[in-house]
Structure 1
Amino acid sequence: MMRTTTRLLATRAAEDPGRPAVTVDGVGSLTFGEWETRADAVALGLLERGLRAGDRVGLLFGGRGWIDFAVAYCAVHKAGGVAVPLSDRFPPAELAFMLADCAATGLVHDQGAAPPPYPGAWTATVADLDRGPGAPVEPDTPERDLAQILYTSGTTGRPKGVAASHANLMFGCTFTGRRRPLAHSRQFLHAFPVGTNAGQTMLVNALDARASALTLPLFTPARFGRLIESRAVGTVFVVPTMATELLKAGIHERYDLSSVRLFGSTAAALPPAVAVALGAVFPNATIVNYYTSTEAAPAQMTMIFDPARPTSVGRPASPGDIRITDEGGHPPPPGEPGHVWLRSPTTPRTYYRTHPSNPPPPGHRPVSHGNGDRATEGTVFRGRWVRMGDVGYLDGEGYLHLVDRDHDIIKSGAFKISTMKIEAALHEHPDVSDAAVFGVPHADLGTQVVAALVTSAALSLRDVRAFLAPRLAEHELPRRILIVDALPKNPAGKVLKRTLRDSLLSTT
């Protein structure tokens, strides 16, 4: 049996046709039977539009459109196409770049939303494409074929399209109805946007898990807490910035959170102080950090928070699935930091233009990312190995400890400084609700340390340095602070340090 999203949907529709698969708070629900029937009807509309095997179709939806997105996503696969999930939080120029970069032939978008200008492609809503009840569309798509192009968050430059095959997306999924994940929960709650790796993981969970997916159009701590209490939610998934907002809002003082058994965080490492606070706020929950990336999935490491290893993101099931290398590709001495690589347990992802089953269409000239696409490919993907873009080290028991993102390490004077370490210390301050550390040019040091802070009380540079002095070395202490109302973030919830840096430099 071919392991594809459409086969899994057909399996769930046969097993549980009336079971809710996706619920959007305040909008509605979609059962597995409805999902299958509607995807067939929309696939027919796509085929009428002339969709051919391998054609790319952009899927542009906001938080209210998760149900239509789920239908359109599977419809594209039923019609033999490649789904390109896009968030309505991306600016129009960036959306146009992504559509041109992957040579999309069409764009399916939210009802009532104005699609970005992109010549040469048709646009439609799910309702426009729906042909009503008809014969089921039975795709004959090989597992190795391209199923999805997902664009990276672009925190350091223009986004890159990451290609995933059906085999990659469906790795670990259950096609027999036994041992479905998240069986301890009736619903799992998230607020991830369409077009992010975390959001796509939730879509696969909706297809595969025993629990049904519950989301809300826009994340707010109060609405998140209300849903946990009113729906007795057993599993929640967040990114670290959402976790800090939940704590800052004090939702545990207003809502009963005792139903939560699993609290999962992804996209970045949880600061230890935040993980400890979450344990107190969600007393019955196991706090888990998931470590992966858009390029590496489904390879990941899972770490139940351990106060004895507060900086660890876990260890792989097989020690051979992780390696640390120096710049020359060799393992550094034990305990020394280096570049982190994970090995994919299945067909690995690639940057889409090098995916073997889907070369660019004839005559298509892909948009350059400005840094050599194939050169970048070789530094990230090597066989089944994927470079994570992080610097870290393994302790004596094989647990991975992250030092920093490659591009975030600050070289100041003779020192290499971890911004993650400073941020973790800042999160221990009772008046700091969010923090980001970055470097700016300095005449003598080369680069100096700057901390951008969201605070609940007035703090001076002297206050911050005095608090950090027992926790950090002298060269790690910030030389400047920037007090902001909120940290700038991309649709995936990652802090845009480049925006902070540019903003500070433009005012000095």
Structure 2
Amino acid sequence: MPELLAWRTAVHPERVAVQVHGVDEVTFAAWSAGAGAVAGALRRHGVRPGDRVGLVFGQRDWTGYAVAYCGVLRAGGVAVPLSDRLAPAQLGYALDHCRAAAVLHGGDEAPPGTPAGLPAWPAARLAAEGGEPFDHPVRPGDLAQILYTSGTTGRPKGVGASHANLVVGAPRHPRRLPLAHSERFLHAFPIGTNAGQTMLLNALTARPTALTLPAFTPARFARLITTAGTVFVVPSIAIELLDSGALAGRDLSGVHLIGSTAAPLAPAVAARLAAAFPQATIVNYYTSTEAAPAQTTMIFDPTRREAVGRPVGGQLMIADADGRELPTGQTGDVWLRSPHPRSYYGDETANRATFRDGWVRMGDVGRLDADGYLHLTDRHQDVIKSGAFKVSTLEVEAALHEHPQVAEAAVVGVPHPVLGSAVAAAVVARPGTPAAEPTLPALRAFLTGRLADHQLPARLLVLDRLPRNEGGKVLKRQLTDQFDA
């Protein structure tokens, strides 16, 4: 990773690499100089190669975060990106779990939740200390970062990635930089998420400037879209943009690519994006913190509405419960494989359950069609067993998103005295619709013909918003609790 920043600095020293709109920006030359200064200061403060260093930053601190991240790697350390929006207990757990030697942060005081006695330094102060820059030679297989999963199914796990894993597919020639059709790529992903780390790597490897904003609102994001040729979103951001009216009257012809990641993009939402951005290619990316950089990509195709793509940068397999590959068309566990695989930090039990000979069990159920496209059935833990049937929550959610009054939808199983589980839907009403809010009879009538009887929701909650984590994924356990209440 340090070599990648050095190469990009040599090629484009004065090009702006990362820009936080209205707050700050950093060129490749300044990024490299700041990272060297941070590395030198860490060395003087006793941080040694292999030490884990927590990086606690907020949305407006992307430039400082980029400098601190590469500074830790240049010192031979292991970067542990963490959002400043974590609860103190969550932050403390992550720092304890990885046995962090220090914390770098974007504020003036140690972040709440920092364990007592753990050194915590403002990154800007370290970068300004002066002194000789420092570079510790690293090897491709050395651990570079630990990224904590979203924790939607339990305690977050630390996913370790080597330098080799992070630079897979990095360009080696300045004329082959990705996203060359754009001057800027826009995103609003939080630090500490896999999507956010992908944007940091894009800043190092892609031609355009990485553009973000200190706080997401649909209106601010829509204004910046007109200056960006490439836009990355999660489905919840896409829905907010489409429903807010913030795109109305704006010239969107300069947008060439809309990329969606972190959660499945409902076909109805993909179709609305395609209509709103007629000049753009709409792409859905399917991966996980554990599997990256292996992924599938799917260019929106109305004839393959349910597909999530074919593999890029790795291999894809559907397997039975014992890990044996299944024939095309059969449903089973989804596995992805990439060179230089990741692993859980300090958790061999979880490693044995998820990683096997470079393959990663995604935790999803799906199948491959005759052309090699992946079709997801559901998350393993989300499949609803109702009577003699297994119900895919993804299929029900996709149908709900077609309803004109539904902005967002999430489906869970709730206890039923006879069937075992019943289908329950939580929806957010689309603003500006004629009726006050959707009703259960109206939704069931709409879904009849789209879904089988056993897939129709038996219960309904209409919410102001769905509970989501930092990465934009719906926290379905919280929804289940709301139905129980």
TM surpasses 0.5: yes
8 Å Cα contact 2:334-2:361 kept in structure 1: yes
Asked whether 1:246 is paired with 2:209, we answer no
Distance in 1 between the 2:205 and 2:450 partners?
44
Residue of structure 2 in register with 1:273 after alignment: 268
Indicate which of 205, 221, 235 corresponds to 1:224.
221
Q: What is the match of residue 306 of structure 1?
A: 301
Tell me the residue number matched to 1:478.
Answer: 457
Report deviation, 1:343.
Answer: 1.1
Equivalent residues of 1:37, 1:133 under 8 A apart: no
1:331: which partner in 2?
325
Secondary structure of the corresponding residue to residue 333 of structure 2: strand
Instruction: Between 30-39 and 129-138, report the one with greater CA deviation.
Output: 129-138
Deviations 1:318-368 (A, max 9, x none): 9x8111112232334531211000111x21000122xxxxxxxxxxxxxxx
8 A contact 1:225–1:257 mirrored in 2 = no
Q: Name the aligned partner's letter for residue 456 of structure 2.
A: L
More divergent stretch after superposition (388-397 vs 326-335): 326-335
- Name structure 2 gaps, 5 residues minimum: 431-435
What are the residue-to-residue correspondences of 1:293-372 with 2, within 5 Å? 293-316=288-311, 321-344=315-338, 346-353=339-346
Alignment: residue pair count: 479
TM-score (norm 2): 0.96
CA distance in 2, matches of 1:17, 1:323: 42
Query: Which of residues 421, 424, 427 in structure 1 aligns to 2:395?
Result: 421
Which of 28, 40, 50 matches 2:46? 50
Higher mean C-alpha deviation, range 416-425 or range 135-144 = 135-144
**Residues of 1 paired with 2:236 and 2:363: CA distance?**
20
1:114 shift after superposition? 4.5
SS in 2 for 1:327: coil
Q: Is the Cα contact below 8 Å between 1:241 and 1:493 reproduced in 2?
A: yes
Q: Which amino acid aligns with 1:200?
A: Q
Partner of 1:129: 126
3-state SS of 1:386 partner: strand
SS of the residue corresponding to residue 470 of structure 1 reads: coil
1:396 match? 370
What residue is the counterpart of 1:9 in the other structure?
Answer: 5
The reply to whether residue 406 of structure 1 matches residue 380 of structure 2 is yes
The percentage of counterpart residues that share the same residue type is 59
Q: 1:135, CA displacement in angstroms?
A: 3.7
Verify the 8 A CA contact 2:295 2:312 in the aligned structure 1: no
**Contact 1:57/1:83 (8 A) holds in 2:** yes
Tell me if the contact between 2:401 and 2:409 (Cα under 8 Å) persists in the aligned partners. yes
**Correspondence for 2:200:** 203
Question: Alignment partner for residue 160 of structure 2, among 163, 172, 178?
Answer: 163
Counterparts of 1:114 and 1:139, CA distance in 2: 27
Map Cα deviations across residues 160-190 of structure 1 (whole Å, 9 max, x no partner).
Answer: 0000000000111124323000100000000
> Which is bigger in relative contact order (C-alpha 8 A, separation at least 6)?
1
Q: 1:152 to 1:140 in 2, by over 3 A?
A: same
Amino acid across the alignment from 1:430: P
**Counterparts of 1:51 and 1:237 in 2: how far apart (Å)?**
35
1:94 alignment partner, SS class: helix
* Contact 2:331/2:365, CA 8 A, preserved across alignment: yes
Task: Report if aligned partners of 2:41, 2:129 keep a CA contact under 8 Å in 1.
Answer: no
In the TM superposition, residue 134 of structure 1 has moved relative to its aligned partner by 4.4
2:114 and 2:171 mapped to 1: Cα distance?
A: 40
Aligned equivalents of 1:210, 1:163: Cα separation in 2 = 27
Contact 1:190 1:236 in 2 (8 A): yes
Secondary structure at 2:441 match in 1: helix
TM-align CA RMSD: 1.4
Query: Once the two structures are superposed, what CA deviation does each residue of 1:34-66 show, in whole Å capped at 9, x if it has no partner?
Result: 001111111111111100110000000110010
My pick for the range that moved more, 249-258 or 382-391, is: 249-258
**How far did residue 317 of structure 1 move?**
5.1
Q: Secondary structure at the match of 1:130?
A: helix
Contact 1:8 1:175 in 2 (8 A): no
* Matches for 1:432-451 after TM superposition, within 5 Å: 432-451=406-425
